Amino acid sequence: MLALYHFGPVANSLTPLLCLLEKDLPFENRRLNSRLWEHHTPEFQQLSPDGMVPILLHKGRVIRESTVINEYVDSVFPDPPLRPADPWLRAEMRVLTKYVDEYFCPALTVVGAHGATPFASKIDKAEMARILARMPNEEVRRKWQTVSNTGYSEAELADARRKLGNCLRRLEDQLAGVSGDWLLGKDYSLADIKWYSMAPALPRVLPDLCTAEGAPRTLRWLDAMAARPAVQALDTYRTPA
Amino acid sequence: MLALYHFGPVANSLTPLLCLLEKDLPFENRRLNSRLWEHHTPEFQQLSPDGMVPILLHKGRVIRESTVINEYVDSVFPDPPLRPADPWLRAEMRVLTKYVDEYFCPALTVVGAHGATPFASKIDKAEMARILARMPNEEVRRKWQTVSNTGYSEAELADARRKLGNCLRRLEDQLAGVSGDWLLGKDYSLADIKWYSMAPALPRVLPDLCTAEGAPRTLRWLDAMAARPAVQALDTYRTPA
């Protein structure tokens, strides 16, 4: 009934995976191996013409974009609800998920993609040209062109780290402004799920800022997330099937 | 009951303005003059700490981010509905509004902000430093630093225009894939409103691509939008109060 195509419990793929696990919904696990470029095959592109992952299949239709998938899942399978009923709180939830999509994710992508340079730069140039030619999305293709060449410049990496510092401050401020364990306060929501798709990278990428002194609320929230059964169940999806 | 702070019927400010007009909702019109930096006063920052415009006031609470505001308005004032009831179509609507926020708007912002260089570069340097220091959002401050100096480079402008070409193709493809006058087919929705906040710039910015031969559906859709009474009513909000 439900089938999720994903890259495992990391970044945008984690977003719908964790949502399905929180709701205890059965789904077909279609783990793709990004390093084998399984998302750029003609078969997969029939489902996702842009080659974007994750996608959810439900009733023969494709739902795309992780943030949008989760709103869809919560509206079709509302138990337990992962969006606040109060319209203002729901708007705040969307401001938070939007920030991850527009600011946190692009910054973390630079750092993450740069980490793939040792892998991608070893690929034979003619083979890489063929791989690039199969990438339907122009921005993704340009990213991999950079990654398979020299990687990002020091200036680009520094700018990404600067932005990640802003993300950490935003997370810390958000948690300081609410009473309760979660980003919106008492109610665990899609905002926690979305931030958790990126935030576990912060202690590693910003070791000087993401500390017990500098970001105590962030570390406490990361621990509270890690203790959730659904988060622990993510491990099952770590290795390609 | 409702109050909208906006910069007039253009870009992100157009988004909630058009939504309120489509629903014929009375609201207090709080037009800010961006060239007088009215959004960087301490008074306004009490409502919008980041200095972001537009914001909507409702029941003493602030709703921010134009796309989020419109989902809020449609859920609190559902008549007439501007989101499809079908969850899959609603997801498609969100994919479309998201694309504008993440791809179309940033590209158009480069071209638009560059157009402000003649104005901003004439401002006395010490005065500009004071204006910049009052901007709470780091990315906005960096943008205006660039704009008040040399403006964007030719390479940055060319990259923005390349992306705008992709936006035009996306719009044309979307309209080709549906039957009906609007982006989702028969039902006019928040997706049309969001795209209309940016798309009227396309014929001017891409005069060689956005033509009757190259983008016939886009031009027809722009005409259909322009004929809507709510779009015509936008004119009333063009000049600062």
Judging contacts by C-beta atoms under 8 Å, the chain A residues touching residue B58 are 88
**8 Å CB contact of B90 and A72:** yes
DSSP 3-state of A24? coil
Interchain CB contact of B155 with A (< 8 Å): no
**8 Å CB contact of A72 and B87:** yes
Find the CB nearest B64 among A65, A95, A138: A95
pLDDT recorded at residue A154: 96
pLDDT recorded at residue B49: 93
pLDDT recorded at residue B239: 80
Structure ipTM: 0.96
Interchain CB contact of B169 with A (< 8 Å): no
Taking the CA of residue B91 and the nearest CA in chain A, the distance in Å comes to: 6
Contacts with B, A 120-139, CB within 8 Å: 138
Average pLDDT, chain B: 96
Taking the CA of residue A218 and the nearest CA in chain B, the distance in Å comes to: 21
pLDDT recorded at residue B195: 98
Top mean pLDDT of A107-111, A147-151, B237-241 is at A107-111
**8 Å CB contact of B68 and A95:** yes
Which residues does B67 contact at the CB level (< 8 Å), separation at least 6? Answer: A94, A98, B15, B97, B98, B100, B101, B190, B194
Which residues does B122 contact at the CB level (< 8 Å), separation at least 6? Answer: none
pLDDT at A241 over 70: no
pLDDT recorded at residue B150: 87
Give pLDDT tens digits for B167-210: 999 999 999 999 999 999 999 999 999 999 999 999 999 999 99
A239 pLDDT band (50/70/90 cuts)?
confident
Interchain CB contact of B102 with A (< 8 Å): yes
pLDDT at B25 over 80: yes
Interchain CB contact of B98 with A (< 8 Å): yes
pLDDT recorded at residue A166: 98
Give pLDDT tens digits for A208-231: 999 999 999 999 999 999 999 999
Find the CB nearest A98 among B61, B65, B95: B65
**What distance in Å separates the CA atoms of residue A152 and residue A158, rounded to the nearest whole number?**
10
* Rg value, chain A, Cα: 18
Average pLDDT, chain A: 96
**A-B contacts (CB, under 8 Å):** 63
Judging contacts by C-beta atoms under 8 Å, the chain A residues touching residue B98 are 65, 67-68, 101
Give pLDDT tens digits for A2-19: 999 999 999 999 999 999
B5 or A34, higher pLDDT: B5
**What distance in Å separates the CA atoms of residue B204 and residue B216, rounded to the nearest whole number?**
15
